[in-house]
Structure 1
Amino acid sequence: MPNKTQETNAIKQVRHQPAKLDDVDRKILTLLAQDSSQSYVELGEVLHLSAPAVHERVKRLKRDGVIKATVAKIDGCKVGRTLLAFVLVNTKNVLSTKRLLSLGELPEIEEMHTVAGDSGVLLKVRVRETEGLEELLGKVQDIEGVDGTRSYIVLSTFVERGPAPEL
């Protein structure tokens, strides 16, 4: 039978140390964050480096986990998921939070975070309409140990981005 420490550690993320990045690495990250489809030649021209030098740096940034993925940023409204909401989930304990993690595979859930404060988990969800949100909330509330939810529907988004690589 697992002890309390093992149960808690099952949902904790590994603490990461910041990577050692120089100014060129940060500039590469900034350029890729703006448009990840740029070729190594194009990046090299801006950075005054050869394409192979940029390629080696990008490979290292990927290997070190600084670049986690190269993905298309999709407009939720254009693919029919017009309702964006943040849902705070009240859980009774760590085991309840762990059970909630099983919902992470649902396509409606874009992000899931454990948080400090009145709630245990924060979800970023995107659904087609209010009925889709109601259905998702039902799935969340069906999980043993979930005491309740509080939803915030987004009206407009003005800034949405990842972490800035430049300090």
Structure 2
Amino acid sequence: MDEIDEKLLALLAENARLPVATLARRLGLARSTVQARIDRLEAKGVIAGYALRLGDGAARDTIRATVLLTLEPRATAAVVSRLRSMRQVEAAHTASGRFDLVVTLAARSTAELDDTLDRIGEIGGVRGSESLIHLSTKIDRQG
């Protein structure tokens, strides 16, 4: 990746729906050159896809939480498999330190969040958990 690729990615991160002609104009390149760069970045896996970002209106009714999980030895695969089946689980990351998994949840109500936390606590291999409910977003670079 070079500086032009980084500028292209920054423009796409701002608005992935920008037409290639607009991207080309902003980068000072030919449309075909920009399209070739996008194709190459997709083929290399630098661009993994394009997604819908919901605005504040949609997020207003969503309660988010981060759940820090401590697992039994060698239980990660089974726990992740169960978490994958829960639609409230947005992401799960392995971690170093005191906790083994960092899980991000999104629920429509406190009751749904509570139920989801109970279900996570009942998963075989989960030794313990700590929940952090998100109150407000101060910085969001992921969209």
TM-superposed deviation, 1:119: 1.1
> Normalising by structure 1, what TM-score?
0.79
Pair 1:99–1:80, CA change in 2 (3 A): farther
Alignment of 1:77-88 (within 5 A): 78=58, 81-88=61-68
Which of 108, 115, 119 is equivalent to 1:139?
Answer: 119
Q: Which moved more, 1:70-79 or 1:137-146?
A: 70-79
After superposition, the CA RMSD in angstroms is 1.5
Determine what percentage of the aligned residue pairs are the same residue. 30
Using the TM superposition, name which of 48-57 and 101-110 deviates more. 101-110
In structure 2, C-alpha distance between the alignment counterparts of 1:33 and 1:89, rounded to whole Å: 31
Question: Could you list the per-position Cα deviations for residues 88-119 of structure 1 after superposition, in whole angstroms to 9, with x for gaps in the alignment?
Answer: 0110112x211111112422111100101111
Compared CA separation, residues 76 and 153, structure 1 to 2 (3 A)? farther
- For 1:18-29, list aligned pairs within 5 A: 21-29=1-9
Distance 2:57 2:133 in 1: 14
Q: Using the TM superposition, give the Cα deviation of residue 75 of structure 1 relative to its aligned residue in structure 2, in angstroms.
A: 3.6
Task: Report the CA distance shift for 1:24/1:58 in structure 2 as closer, same or farther (over 3 A).
Answer: same
Distance 2:95 2:72 in 1: 13
1:118 to 76, 98, 103: 98
Do the aligned partners of residues 109 and 76 (structure 1) sit closer, same or farther apart at CA in structure 2, a change above 3 Å counting?
A: farther
Residue 37 (structure 2) pairs with residue 57 (structure 1)? yes
Query: Is the aligned partner of 1:153 residue 2:133?
Result: yes
Aligned to 1:72: 52
Aligned to 1:99: 78
Q: Normalised by the size of structure 2, how large is the TM-score?
A: 0.92
- Asked whether the equivalents of residues 87 and 149 of structure 1 are also in contact (C-alpha less than 8 Å), the reply is yes
Q: CA deviation at 1:155?
A: 0.7
Q: How many residues matched?
A: 141
Alignment of 1:17-56 (within 5 A): 21-56=1-36
Q: Which structure 1 residue ranges, 5 or more long, are not aligned?
A: 1-20, 163-167
8 A Cα contact 1:92 1:146, kept in partner:
yes
